[in-house]
């Protein structure tokens, strides 16, 4: 599977770097200022290269909740959403100050950006977020991005900063997503259980065999295990962004990755990048409902990417309104596509299985002949 994709990394110019909680807090012992200084020095050195070589870098940082827990003397991650939000609010102060003070030593400014899923699911706010992030990085300012944990709820959260980093990579058309973790990379099996497990060096992010290899384990401090990192790599791949999962404890890991050294796991993107609107649609994580397609409709969508007609729908699940995002699955429950629906759940349930020419007779009106138009549909 190794095809030497790393030789192209020196041609990349825009990176999203994500650093995990276990690294930042030295397994929960408070912010590791020495390690932070090291990563910042590496990022600064890459941003200070010659104009035709230097990088634009956006940083997605975990650690706010873990730092807040440390400051308040909490030994275990609280279950209460309000305690988590309190920990995030307290910890965010120390986290951002730590980065800002280190970047200033290298004559670089930083900007704090806190996002919620609403910021990326609303088209206008999505474009505004994109514009400000692009302006910051072109001004050689480092945006430090985190989820706005103090206001989000479980229903609207990204879920983990790996996912947030991937969506931000989509947002700014990044060339590379670097996920720094406390693991060496992705292995073909769990190295904690199998001493013969082998590190994957270069793989296609969409290879279906990776799902079984990723497992579902999580750390005590953060939300994201290897499965979430694989999912993030696949989200990033939609905009043509490659992903590297590597140990942040490797000496000068970012500089060595830039030089093309084989560290960690490179998950490369083989598909052609989606258009900007399709990226936005694909990045939606809040699905309001589900359409179960018959085998014919699923096949047509996968092979032709055409609009979805009501005749190909077998079942409608959930409650949603016109314009909401819904997921389309085949009869085995596997996701086929997602898109913005033209009818609410009650209307969709009434016209499912019927031809477009019958919609007027069933509903008394026709908003659109398609249940989901191809322009508002993205194949997964």
Per-residue pLDDT tens for 220-274? 444 457 888 999 999 898 888 999 999 999 999 999 999 999 999 999 987 777 7
d(CA 199, CA 65): 30
Domain 287-379 belongs to what topology?
2.30.130
Q: What is the pLDDT of residue 185?
A: 93
Q: What is the pLDDT of residue 364?
A: 93
d(CA 55, CA 45): 9
Q: Is the pLDDT of residue 133 over 50?
A: yes
Q: List the alpha helices (DSSP H) in the chain.
A: 21-24, 33-47, 64-72, 81-104, 117-121, 123-138, 161-172, 210-214, 226-237, 253-258, 276-282, 295-304, 345-351, 359-363
Q: Is the pLDDT of residue 341 over 70?
A: yes
Q: Where are the domains of the chain?
A: 5-279, 287-379
Q: Predicted confidence band at 2 (pLDDT cuts at 50, 70, 90)?
A: very low
Domain 5-279 belongs to what topology?
Carbamate kinase (3.40.1160)
- Nearest by Cα to 219 from 9, 7, 65: 65
Coil, strand or helix: which one is 230? helix
Do residues 268 and 5 touch, judged by C-beta distance below 8 A? yes
Which H helix or E strand runs over 144?
strand 142-147
Per-residue pLDDT tens for 155-187? 435 567 898 999 999 999 999 999 999 999 999
- Mean of all residue pLDDT scores within the chain: 87
Q: Is the CA virtual torsion 227, 231, 236, 239 positive or negative?
A: positive
Tell me which DSSP letter residue 26 carries. Answer: T
Q: What is the pLDDT of residue 221?
A: 43
CB proximity list for 250: less than 8 A, separation 6 or greater: 256, 263, 264
Residue 204, phi then psi, degrees to nearest 5: -75, 125
Q: What is the pLDDT of residue 223?
A: 45
Q: What is the pLDDT of residue 64?
A: 85
Provide mean pLDDT across the span 19-48.
90
Q: Is the pLDDT of residue 365 over 50?
A: yes
Same fold, 5-279 and 287-379: no
Q: Is the pLDDT of residue 1 over 60?
A: no
Do residues 342 and 354 touch, judged by C-beta distance below 8 A? no
Between 134 and 127, where is the model more confident? 134
């Amino acid at each position: 599977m190794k095809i030497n994709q790393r030789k192209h990394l020196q041609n990349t110019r825009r990176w999203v770097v994500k650093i995990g909680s276990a690294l930042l807090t030295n397994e929960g012992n408070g912010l590791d200022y020495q390690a932070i200084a090291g990563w910042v020095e590496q990022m600064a050195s890459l941003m200070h290269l010659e104009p035709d070589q230097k990088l634009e870098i956006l940083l997605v940082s975990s650690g706010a909740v873990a730092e807040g827990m440390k400051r308040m003397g909490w030994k275990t991650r609280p279950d209460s959403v309000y305690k988590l939000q309190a920990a995030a609010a307290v910890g965010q102060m120390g986290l951002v100050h730590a980065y800002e003070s280190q970047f200033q030593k290298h004559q670089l400014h930083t900007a704090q950006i806190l996002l919620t899923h609403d910021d990326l699911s609303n088209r206008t706010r999505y474009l505004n977020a994109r514009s400000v992030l692009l302006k910051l990085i072109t001004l050689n300012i480092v945006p430090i991005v985190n989820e706005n944990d103090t206001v989000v709820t479980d229903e609207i959260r990204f879920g983990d900063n790996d996912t947030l980093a991937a969506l931000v990579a989509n947002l700014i058309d990044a060339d590379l997503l670097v996920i720094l973790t406390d693991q060496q990379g992705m292995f073909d099996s769990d190295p904690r259980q199998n001493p013969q497990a082998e590190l994957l060096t270069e793989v296609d992010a969409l290879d279906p065999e990776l799902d079984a290899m990723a497992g579902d384990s999580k750390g005590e401090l953060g939300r994201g295990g290897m499965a979430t990192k694989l999912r993030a790599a696949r989200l990033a791949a939609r905009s043509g962004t490659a992903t590297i999962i590597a140990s942040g404890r490797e000496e000068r890991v970012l500089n060595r990755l830039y030089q093309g050294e084989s560290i960690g796991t490179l998950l490369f993107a083989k598909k052609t990048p989606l258009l900007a609107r399709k990226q936005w649609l694909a990045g939606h994580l809040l699905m309001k409902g589900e359409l179960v397609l018959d085998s014919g409709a699923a096949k047509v969508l996968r092979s032709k990417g055409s609009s979805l007609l009501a005749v190909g729908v077998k079942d409608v699940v959930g409650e949603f309104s016109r314009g909401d995002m819904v997921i389309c699955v085949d009869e085995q429950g596997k996701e086929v596509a997602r898109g913005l629906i033209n009818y609410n759940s009650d209307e969709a349930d009434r016209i499912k299985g019927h031809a477009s020419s019958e919609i007027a007779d069933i509903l008394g009106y026709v908003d659109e002949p398609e249940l989901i138009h191809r322009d508002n549909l993205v194949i997964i």
